[in-house]
Amino acid sequence: MWDSEKVEFTTISIRGKEYDAKMFGVVAVHPPQADSPWWEIDFTDGTTLVTTDVVSIRFQKKKGK
């Protein structure tokens, strides 16, 4: 899992369409696992997007974390 305490999300791409991760308030991304073969993307408003679509995420590690 990647969360906004350790990384800064910049862009999220779903099915080739790019979105501004900051504008949408992405706070955590859970990649597919063996027991859960889907992406879970958490937002600041408490909602979670669950998808099996192709997802690409751009982020950078926060300094000092």
Tens of pLDDT, residues 6-44? 999 999 999 999 999 999 999 999 999 999 999 999 999
User: Who wins on pLDDT, 53 or 63?
Assistant: 53
Both tokens of 23, joined, read 């504008």
Length of the chain (residues): 65
Q: What is the pLDDT of residue 56?
A: 95
CA distances from 56 to 32, 63, 64, 65 (A): 12, 22, 25, 22
Give the other-Cβ count within 10 Å of 23's Cβ. 7
Sign of CA dihedral 19, 24, 25, 31: negative
Cα separation, 33 vs 50, in Å, equals 13
